[in-house]
Each structure stands twice: as C-alpha cells, then as structure tokens.
Amino acid sequence: MRAIAYSEFGSADVLSLTDLPDPHAGPDSMVVEVRAAGLNPVDYKIRQGHLDGLIDTHFPAVPGWDVSGVVVESGLDTPEFSVGDEVFAYARKDVVAGGTLAERVAVPVRTAALKPAALDHEQAASVPLAGLTALQVLRRLGVTKDSCVLIHGASGGVGSFAVQIARHLGAHVVGTASDRNHDYVCDLGADHVTYGEGLVERALRSCPTGFDVIADFAGGSSLDNTVALLSPTGVVGSIADPRARTEFGGHYIWVRPDASDLAHLARLIDDGHVNVHLDGVYPLQRAADAYRELEGGHTRGKIVVTIP
Ligand SMILES: NC(=O)c1ccc[n+]([C@@H]2O[C@H](COP(=O)([O-])OP(=O)(O)OC[C@H]3O[C@@H](n4cnc5c(N)ncnc54)[C@H](OP(=O)(O)O)[C@@H]3O)[C@@H](O)[C@H]2O)c1
C-alpha cells in the first residue's frame, strides 16, 4: 500500500510517499481503508523527536492517529463493527509505527465509532483527537449550564470544538484568538473574543467575578494572566502547559481514545450542535505541505489529507 512515512526524526522534509506492506487486523483491531486522515500537532511533535521519551517510534513510521474510512477486514473478536461500516477513529496505539496517513490502517475497536452521517469522510477525519480532547477537558473541568468559561486558542482544532461543546452545555463562553479569527469564533458560539494587550480587562467585562473555568488549548504565555482571570472557586486546565497543575492547582490533561466519547461526539454532530471547519484539504502525496501549514501554528479549524 502507499503511505507517508519517515525513517528519522526531523522536519516535514523527512516525510516521503512510500510503499509499505498492508496491515493486518489484530485480535481486537480491524483494518480500515482510509478515505481521509486528520492532522494534529502531536504528529509533528513526535516526528521532530520531542516526545521520544514518552512514546516509542518504530521506523519507518507512518504518522497520524485520526482517520475516517471503511472497514475492510474484521479482527478475531470485533463484533462492534462489520466489513463495509463507515467509521472514524482516534487510532492511537502504544507505539508510533502504522499511522493513518496510508491507504490502510489497523484500528483498535476501542478507538472507533460509526462515522457521523452528517459528515463526509474529509470532515469526519478532522474530528476524533481534537473533538475528544475538547469533550474530555470540558468534562474534567466541570463545565455546566451557566458556567463562565474562558477558552484559550478558541480558533484552533481543539478550541473550535470546545467553543461549540461549551456553548451546547449552556455555558457563557469567552475565547481568545487573533483578530482575523474573531468573527469565526463568534460564529462558533462564543459570546466574546479577545486577545493581546488589555485581555484581562476586556475578558472580565463578560464575567466580572472571574471565570469558573479556564481551558487552555494554546499553551505558550496563555496562562500568564490566570490569577487575575480565575474566580476564587474557579478551576484551570491545559493540554499544552503543565503550569495548569504545578502553578495553578488545576489539571494538565492528555486525551484518551474512547469509543463511547467518540459516539457521543457523532451524536452531537448529527444533532446539529457541533460542526467542523476545514482550513486545508491535501492529497496524500502533499502531506508534507499539509504539515508545514499546520506547523505555522495558526490553523483555523482543521487540516486533513485525503486518499482518493
Ligand atoms: N494534551 C493533549 O491531549 C493534547 C490534545 C490535543 C492537542 N494538544 C496540544 O494543544 C495545542 C493545540 O492543539 P490544536 O490541535 O488545537 O492546534 P492548532 O489547530 O494548531 O491550533 C492552535 C491555535 O492556537 C492559537 N494560538 C497560537 N498562539 C496563541 C496564543 N498565544 N494565545 C491564544 N491562541 C493562540 C492559534 O490561533 P490564532 O491563529 O487565532 O492565534 C491556533 O488557531 C498543541 O500544542 C497540541 O499539541 C494536546
């Protein structure tokens, strides 16, 4: 099969279109014919060698954990799905090797759900990792109706889902995003969007007693103003900055593959509560360019690679 692979850590230049053996279904996996694969920053952080102590990479490594496609081979005991089912998955495994930027991929059933009917494969491939992250973080931080929630990085892959889910839960949502994305984040459902100098004063106009929840999906300096922004009983969580736990007593969160959470996301999408925005769609052979765009750090929504 054709796949994008790399045999050493490095920039997007190490990625090349390669022929690799077809994967086989393990006892609790199925083989999915990939129609589209979603890109995430973790893919390039792994490829650059930054997560080498956390997760092993076996070369040649195919990047990618997000997929939407069709089941073409069942495992020994995978009654949840049948050949021909259209599925999407956050197909993370314990080692980086056979990823989703390939014509076929082995997908553990615990990471998969039926594709939302409302989405095509390109859109569906953009959902799993980022959508699950948003859902699991908002749940961990206890967002409910009328919570006052500040979402850093509201225009990115995770932030775009988080704004919509928080809004659906009935929260009052303020997002941070650069100026060019303010209308986009408001359209997602944020009540107010701000950024840069004067952020604290402007954000507190929406929630004068401070935020019940601060969810950081951007990292960098986003959490610097946390003490000024958080209400005395508020909680902070981050997926990109450990200071959320070490300095602010909150949560530093790592998303988990979870089939029932993914099915819940599919229902939110099919019921019209969550939508996806694709910033870029690239053919498989241009995967390196797709990653270069993502590595710019200012994606609006998601980038996917398609396999015709
Ligand atoms: N721990 C986990 O489980 C987990 C899961 C998913 C992602 N992550 C990490 O979380 C981060 C975001 O992931 P993603 O997929 O959403 O990335 P992404 O799609 O590349 O989005 C990044 C967003 O961050 C915004 N941004 C950049 N600098 C900012 C700043 N100083 N203040 C506010 N916003 C800023 C950008 O928006 P503007 O262009 O509008 O500035 C951009 O839209 C990445 O570092 C990723 O590796 C961790």
What's the mean pLDDT when you consider all of the chain? 97
Q: Whose CA is nearest to atom 39 of ligand 1?
A: 298
If 0-12 CB within 10 Å is exposed, 13-18 middle and 19+ buried, where does residue 104 land?
Answer: buried
Q: Which atom of ligand 1 is nearest to the CA of 252?
A: 1
* Fold type of domain 133-252: Rossmann fold (3.40.50)
Say which CATH superfamily domain 2-127+276-306 falls into: Medium-chain alcohol dehydrogenases, catalytic domain (3.90.180.10)
Residue nearest to ligand 1 atom 36, measured at CA: 298
Residues 6+ apart with CB under 8 A from 253: 133, 136, 137, 140, 237, 238, 239
What is the model's pLDDT at position 254?
A: 97
pLDDT in tens, 197-254: 899 999 999 999 999 999 999 999 999 999 999 999 999 999 999 999 999 999 999 9
0.75 exceeded by pTM: yes
Give me the percent of the chain exceeding a pLDDT of 70.
Answer: 100
Give percent of the chain with pLDDT exceeding 90.
Answer: 98
The residue whose CA is least distant from atom 48 of ligand 1 is 239
Ordered by start, the domain boundaries in the chain are 2-127+276-306, 133-252
* Residue 135 near ligand 1, beta carbon < 6 Å: no
Q: How far is the CA of 279 from the centre of ligand 1 (A)?
A: 14
pLDDT of residue 308: 81
Question: Which is more confidently placed, 288 or 195?
Answer: 288
Instruction: Convert the pLDDT of each residue in 67-122 to its tens digit.
Output: 999 999 999 999 999 999 999 999 999 999 999 999 999 999 999 999 999 999 99
Does residue 88 contact residue 118 with C-beta atoms inside 8 Å?
Answer: no
Residues 6 or more apart whose CB falls under 8 angstroms from that of 198 comprise: none
220 lines ligand 1 (CB under 6 A): yes
Residues 253 and 138: beta-carbon distance below 8 Å: no
- Atom index in ligand 1 nearest the CA of residue 218 equals 24
What is the CA(299)–ligand 1 centre distance, in A?
8
CA of 295 to the centre of ligand 1 (A): 10
Name the phi and psi angles at 284, rounded to 5.
Answer: -50, -45
Q: Find the 219 Cα to ligand 1 centroid distance in Å.
A: 7
